[in-house]
């Protein structure tokens, strides 16, 4: 498994490195736990933190590991995916500091030799037809692998740090940012 440590301020450069691959996205802390476990586990039991879209996620509820498949996606499909799930730096993975916002991310790329195990995005429609229930899935780009992905199935890992300057305190966005940051600091005490 090839591991690259990368730092970006331009997310387009990061996107260029992700195109053409199938990957699982997580935080650097979660990646360390994955290394200890030797696998990417599914989150059917909700033992790992959930974001709002994970509550009703097809992949999670069926006991699958969720992946992004950018092998054949057009710029339009990638843009639609980013609007549904901003995999270049999800807000819930951000760490807020006094002078910047930081994302410490891990992108784990599935080896092409295991692509035949991918459950296609069309599964969400098949599930609806079978059950009458619609579960959440990111259109077109989200795919799954059943149960778990052993680290031996991972071809490469990008350990990515993204830094953005914190908003200017004198702007409305900056005032909001600083108010949220201070409220969050109060909860940590």
- What domains are defined for the chain? 2-188 (3.20.170.20)
What is the chain's mean pLDDT, rounded?
90
Tokens standing for residue 186: 């109060």
| Cβ pair 2, 157 in contact under 8 A | yes
**pLDDT digit string, tens, across residues 64-87:** 999 999 998 899 999 999 999 999
The pLDDT assigned to 189 comes to 47
CA distance 123 to 163: 36
Closest CA relative to residue 24, chosen from 37, 41, 7, 9: 41
Residues in the chain: 189
**In which band, very low, low, confident or very high, does the pLDDT at 113 lie, cut at 50, 70 and 90?**
very high
**pLDDT digit string, tens, across residues 28-66:** 999 999 999 999 999 777 677 666 667 678 898 899 999
Question: Is the whole-model pTM more than 0.75?
Answer: yes
- In what helix (H) or strand (E) does residue 182 lie, and over which residues does it extend? helix 172-188
Which contacts (CB < 8 Å, 24+ apart) does range 34-37 have? Answer: 34/106, 34/108, 34/151, 35/151
More confident residue, 97 or 120: 120
Provide mean pLDDT across the span 158-164: 96
| Cβ pair 157, 1 in contact under 8 A | yes
Task: Note the Cα 124 to chain centre separation in Å.
Answer: 19
Res. 186: pLDDT tops 70: no
CA distance 71 to 18: 9
The pLDDT assigned to 147 comes to 97
* Inter-CA distances, 122 with 3, 27, 76, 163, 171, Å: 31, 27, 18, 35, 44
């Amino acid at each position: 498994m090839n591991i690259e440590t990368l730092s970006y301020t331009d997310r387009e450069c990061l996107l260029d490195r992700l195109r053409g691959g199938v990957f699982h996205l997580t935080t650097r802390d979660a990646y360390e736990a994955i290394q200890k476990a030797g696998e990417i586990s599914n989150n059917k039991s909700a033992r790992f933190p959930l974001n709002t879209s994970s509550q009703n996620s097809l992949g999670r509820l069926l006991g699958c590991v969720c992946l992004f498949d950018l092998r054949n996606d057009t710029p339009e499909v990638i843009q639609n995916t980013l609007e549904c799930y901003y995999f270049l730096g999800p807000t819930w993975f951000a760490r807020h500091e006094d002078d910047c916002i930081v994302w410490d991310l891990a992108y784990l790329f599935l080896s092409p030799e295991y692509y035949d195990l991918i459950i296609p995005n069309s599964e969400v429609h098949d599930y609806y037809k079978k059950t009458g229930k619609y579960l959440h899935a990111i259109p077109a780009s989200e795919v799954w692998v059943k149960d778990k992905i052993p680290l031996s199935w991972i071809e490469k890992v990008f350990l990515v740090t993204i830094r953005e300057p914190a908003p200017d305190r004198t702007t409305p966005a900056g005032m909001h940012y600083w108010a949220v940051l201070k409220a969050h600091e109060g909860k940590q005490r």
